[in-house]
Structure 1
Amino acid sequence: MSTQVSQEVVPKTLQARDNEIIRRTANYHPSIWGDQFISRLPKDKVQEAIELQEIEKLREQFKRELLASNSSQKLDLIDAIQRLDIFNKFKDDKGYFKQSNDVRGILGLYEAAHLAVHGEDILDEALAFTTIHLKSMASSPNCPLTPKVSHALKQPIRRGVPRLESRRYISIYQDEPSCNKTLLRLAKLNFNLVQELHKEELSEITR
């Protein structure tokens, strides 16, 4: 019986080979990235563990600093994290937006106004108000936040990619007088760790 089975299987195998479609080898273009991700050296796990521990310590330290700060300092720190602010303080007793030279406040109101949804007239009004003022402030040589204002007018936070905005803001924030060193160090470590993770993923994908 085993001999009969073999005689039936062999012809089918030969027939399958005869019907096999032969496809030409494709000429794929080389990767535009070269082998930089494949040949990259993996990050030292010990160093990575040290950085993760430092991030945790910095996070707890920043929490303590935030709780110990006065109201003005708290607003600066929260602004550095969220880059958003409230807008009611910019309205007068009649409900109209009042003139202000507070660049940080105007900028915060401008960013908050971009969170509006259809039908929120108050935020549309706030956006028009702040856009005019920020354009005027950005053109002033005495404005201390000109780089931040100019970038916000081109691309508000709401329309940006968070990770890219984070990298750009690190360069601006580190030069500000109100810069919190703990927060800055935490932001840099966090960005570097995420970047390393992305490189590792690209290395696996391009193998």
Structure 2
Amino acid sequence: MIEAELKARVHAPQDVIRNLDQYGPGHVETYHDTYYDDADGSLTARDAELRTRTVSSPHDTRFVLTYKGATIDADSGSKPEHETRVTDPDAVHAMLTGLGYRPAIAFEKRCRNYEFDARGRKMQATLAFLPELDATFLELETLIRDDGDVQEALSDVRAVLHDLGIKDPDLTKERYSEAVAASRG
């Protein structure tokens, strides 16, 4: 699958929440993300990402393993994404380190997630607050099967972002992992 996604810095989170609530109720989750790479940084060098995520909500905790390939759309940073739930995060960590990967960076995101249909597509919106950056972002994505549909999908995502009050100058390709690493010096 390809994640056709746009991300924006949010300056008025309460306004965005009000607009998102028109699509339906959101649910609060906390993400604890750990990004892995090998000693040579070969994943980063080829623009790939390997991540484990613990997702905690008031009702549930789940674990997810994600691999993202190299960017296929330079303007948005959209990437192929493969994700699966895991039942034993300690075993996944042992497998990854056994294969030569090491945790490169870990951080927390406090999220409010929405799933809805818009412009004929299933969309997921994540309003993410990163405490280390003291910054809020909005990620809006739709999954597509064929990279030939990326531009049309991104056009639909951009239109929904505009409906939510997000302006083009607020869009960013900034990666959380890089921003957190930079803030840590």
Under TM normalisation by the shorter chain, which class is it?
under 0.3
Larger radius of gyration: 1
TM-score normalised by L of structure 2: 0.24
Larger RCO (CA under 8 A, 6+ residues apart): 2
TM-score normalised by L of structure 1: 0.22
